[in-house]
Amino acid sequence: MSNLAIETVGLTYNFGTQTVVKNLSLQVPKGSIYGFLGPNGAGKTTTIKILLNLLKSPSDQVFIFGRDINTNRIASLKRMGALVEQPAIYGHLSGKENLVNRCLLLGIKKNKVAEMLSLVGLTDAANKKAGKYSLGMKQRLGIALALVSDPELLLLDEPTNGLDPNGIIEIRNLMIELATKHQKTILVSSHLLAEIERTATHVGIINKGELLFQGTINELHDLSKPTVKVEVDDIEKTIALLGPTEILQQKGSTVTIPFQSREDMANLNTLLVQNGIKVYTIGTERKDLENLFLDITSKN
Amino acid sequence: MRSLLVSLTSEFYKSRKTLAFWSAILLPLVICILMSWGFISQETKLANDPAQVLWFRYISAILGVMGVLLLPVLVIYNTYAITNMEYKGDTWKSLFSLPLSKFSVYTSKYIYIVFLTFITMFLFAIFIIGSGHMIELIKPTLEFGDYNPNTIIVKFFGKLFLSSLGIISIQFLMNLMWNDFLKPFGIGFLLTIMGIITANVGWKYVDYLPYAYPNLTVTKIMTSKGDITKMIVFDQGIYNSMICAAVVFILGYFIVAKKTIK
C-alpha cells in the first residue's frame, strides 16, 4: 500500500509546442502539508489541473492514493477538494447558496453549510451575493467550497491570495489544524517561500516546469550551509593570515568563510586577536530560505 | 443516473434567480395578457365568429409572434445564459473537478435548456386555454367555451417545441466552444433571419436548415386553419430537427470531453 497521497512519474505536459511540465516526479506523503513552490508561470497551476484531471495526462503518470487518475477519475476526485487559481463561484448566488449548490452536487447534508461558513468567517456575509464579496472573502468561500466534502486530500492553489495578514494567519492555522488533527494531506502552491516555510512539512520547488528540489523542510534547510562572517579593522592582514582557507566572500572590512565547528571559530578569533587585528564582530550565518529559493530557481 | 439528477437539480438551483429562468415563465404570460387585451378591445369585430374560429385566430396570433422570431431568440438567449453562468464565475473547472461524470454535467445542462423551452411551450398552452376562457368571462359575446381547443393547442405547441430542438443543440455547442456573447448570438440570430427568409420563399433545401423549422411549423399550422386532421406533428422537418439535435448533441459531448480547462 503506497504511503503517498499524490505521485507523478516522469510527468510531461505540453500546451501545443510549449512544454509546461517537464519530467515531473512529485511525491506527496499522506498527512503532509506539501508546499509546492515556484515563481509565477513555473507550472504549478498546470500541475494542479493535471492532478484534478482537468488537463488530461498520459496514463500511468499521475497517481492519487496509488491509483491512476485517468482510469479512476471519479473515485479519486471523491477524495479530493480543490481551490484552483481564483475561486470559482457563482456571483449571482449568495455565499450560502454557493455552498448549498455544492452540497447538492456532492450529496452532502445542507447543515454542513453553516459549519463551513463559520469556519472561514463568512457567517455574517452568508446571504450577501458572492459577486459583491471582496477578493479575500471570495478566497475564503473558495476554501469553504473545497472543504465542504471533508476531503482527505486538499489542493490549494495560492489560497492566501488577496487575504489580509489576519486572514493569512487564519488560513495557515487552518491548514496546520487540518493536517495535524484531521490527518488531511494538503498540497498548497505558492510563489512566496516565507508563506510555505511556516506551514509545510515537505517542499517541492518547480521552475520552468522542472522539479528542482523535493524533500522535507529540514532537508531544504540543510541545503543552506552555515558560514562564518568576520568584521575586522585590517582586511588584507586577515586574508593573509587565513592562508589557504576558502574565502566565500569579501565585502569592505568583512570576510565570509565556511563554518567548520564552534572550536574552529574560537581558534580563528584567537588567531586574529593575537596578530593584532581588531575583531569587531564574528558569528555564524545561514542563508535564509528566500535566497536559497532564488538560488535553486536560478539554476535552470 | 444519480449524478445526472443532482446536476439537473443544481442547474435549477443555480438558474432560478436568473433572467433565463424567469423569461421562460414570464414570456408566455406577458404575450397571453397582451393578446387577450387585443381580443377584448376588438370584441365587436370578433363577436360573430364561431368558437373554433375564435380559438384558431387567438392561437395563431400568438404562434405568429412566438414561432417566427421569439422562439429562436429565446432559445439562443437561454442556451447562452445557462452556459455563460459557468464562464462568468470561472466555474467550469470546479464543475469538472467534482466527482461527477463529464457526461452528466454536459447532459444536465442540455436537458435543462430543453426543459426551459418545454416549460415555455407548456405555459403557453396553459395560459392560452386559461386566458381564452377568461376573455369569455369578461366579454361573454366572445364564446370561447363552445369549443374544446386542448388537442390542437397540445399539437401546435408540441410541434413547435420539437422544431426548436435542432437550434438548441447547435446553440449549445457554439456556447460551449466560445466564451463569448457575440459569436453564438450573432451567428444564431443571422441563421434565424436566414431561416425566416428561406422558409418564406420556399427554398428547396429549407428542410435542412434547423433555424427555419419553427417558421415552417408556424406556416404549416396556419395552412391547416385549425383542422386537426390536416396537422401532422411528425413530418420531415420535425424528424430533421430531432436528428440534428441528436447528432450535434453527441458531437458536442466529444468536444466537451476533450475540452482543455485552461
Distance in Å, alpha carbon of A93 to nearest chain B alpha carbon: 7
Q: Does an H or E element contain A160, and which?
A: none
* For the ranges A235-244, A258-267, B43-52, B119-128, the one whose mean pLDDT is highest: B119-128
The DSSP 8-state label assigned to residue B197 in this structure reads H
Residues A133 and A175 in one domain: yes
A271 vs B144: CA distance, rounded Å:
117
Residues A22 and A168 in one domain: yes
Predicted confidence at residue B262, as pLDDT, reads 58
Of A74, A93, A100, the CB nearest to B99: A74
B14 vs B18: CA distance, rounded Å:
8
Across the interface, do B17 and A92 touch by the CB < 8 Å criterion?
yes
Predicted confidence at residue A80, as pLDDT, reads 94
Is A298 among the domain residues? no
Residues A212 and A236 in one domain: no
Distances (CA, A) of B126 to A99, B16, B131, B151: 36, 21, 8, 12
How many domains does one find in chain A?
2
B251 vs B183: CA distance, rounded Å:
19
Closest chain A residue to B102, measured at CA = A74
Output the 3-class SS for B27-81: HHHHHHHHHHHHHHHCHHHHCCCCHHHHHHHHHHHHHHHHHHHHHHHHHHHHHHH
Is A272 among the domain residues? yes
- Other C-beta atoms lying within 10 Å of the C-beta of residue B234: 11
What is the block-wise mean pLDDT of chain B (262 residues), using blocks of 10 residues? 87 90 91 89 81 85 82 90 88 90 91 94 92 86 81 87 93 89 91 90 86 85 71 82 93 80 59
| Averaged pLDDT of chain A | 88
Residue bearing the bigger pLDDT, B28 or A248: B28
CATH number at residue A236: 3.30.70
User: Tens digits of per-residue pLDDT, A42-99?
Assistant: 889 999 999 999 988 888 899 999 999 999 999 999 999 999 888 889 999 999 999 9
CATH number at residue A33: 3.40.50.300
Predicted confidence at residue B221, as pLDDT, reads 79
Give the pLDDT mean for A274-278.
92
Confidence of residue A100 (pLDDT cuts 50, 70, 90): very high
Distance in Å, alpha carbon of A206 to nearest chain B alpha carbon: 19
Is A299 among the domain residues? no
Residues A143 and A81 in one domain: yes
Residues A145 and A274 in one domain: no
Residues of B in contact with A55 (CB under 8 A): 260-261
Distance in Å, alpha carbon of B78 to nearest chain A alpha carbon: 16
The single-letter code of the amino acid at B237 is: G
Residues A157 and A259 in one domain: no
Is A296 among the domain residues? no
Predicted confidence at residue A274, as pLDDT, reads 92
Predicted confidence at residue B206, as pLDDT, reads 86
Across the interface, do A105 and B93 touch by the CB < 8 Å criterion?
no
Residues of B in contact with A106 (CB under 8 A): 98-99
Give the pLDDT mean for A8-16.
89
Question: What separation, in Å, do the N-terminal and C-terminal C-alpha atoms of chain B show?
Answer: 28
- Cell numbers placing A96: 450560502
Boundary (domain end) residue, out of A222, A244, A267: A222
A27 vs B157: CA distance, rounded Å:
60
Interhelix angle for B19-41 vs B51-65, to 10°? 140
Is A140 among the domain residues? yes
Predicted confidence at residue A59, as pLDDT, reads 84
Question: In chain B, which among 14-53 make CB contacts under 8 A with chain A?
Answer: 14, 17-18
User: Tens digits of per-residue pLDDT, A179-201?
Assistant: 888 888 999 998 878 778 888 99
Is A144 among the domain residues? yes
Of B100, B101, B260, the CB nearest to A55: B260
Of B13, B88, B261, the CB nearest to A101: B13
Residues A204 and A192 in one domain: yes
Are A164 and A172 spatial neighbours (Cβ–Cβ below 8 Å)?
A: no
Burial of A272 from C-beta contacts in 10 A (0-12 / 13-18 / 19+): buried
Residues A212 and A234 in one domain: no
Distance in Å, alpha carbon of A262 to nearest chain B alpha carbon: 54
Residues A208 and A253 in one domain: no
Structural domain including A146 reads 4-222
Boundary (domain end) residue, out of A222, A238, A255: A222
Across the interface, do B91 and A88 touch by the CB < 8 Å criterion?
yes
Residues of B in contact with A52 (CB under 8 A): 93, 96-97
Residues A12 and A67 in one domain: yes
Residues A146 and A232 in one domain: no
Residues A176 and A127 in one domain: yes
Nearest partner of A81 among A57, A64, A96, A93, judged by Cα: A64
**Above 60 in pLDDT, residue A1?**
no
Nearest partner of B64 among B221, B237, B189, judged by Cα: B221
**Above 80 in pLDDT, residue A280?**
yes
Is A281 among the domain residues? yes
Predicted confidence at residue A161, as pLDDT, reads 80
Boundary (domain end) residue, out of A200, A222, A244: A222
Is A81 among the domain residues? yes
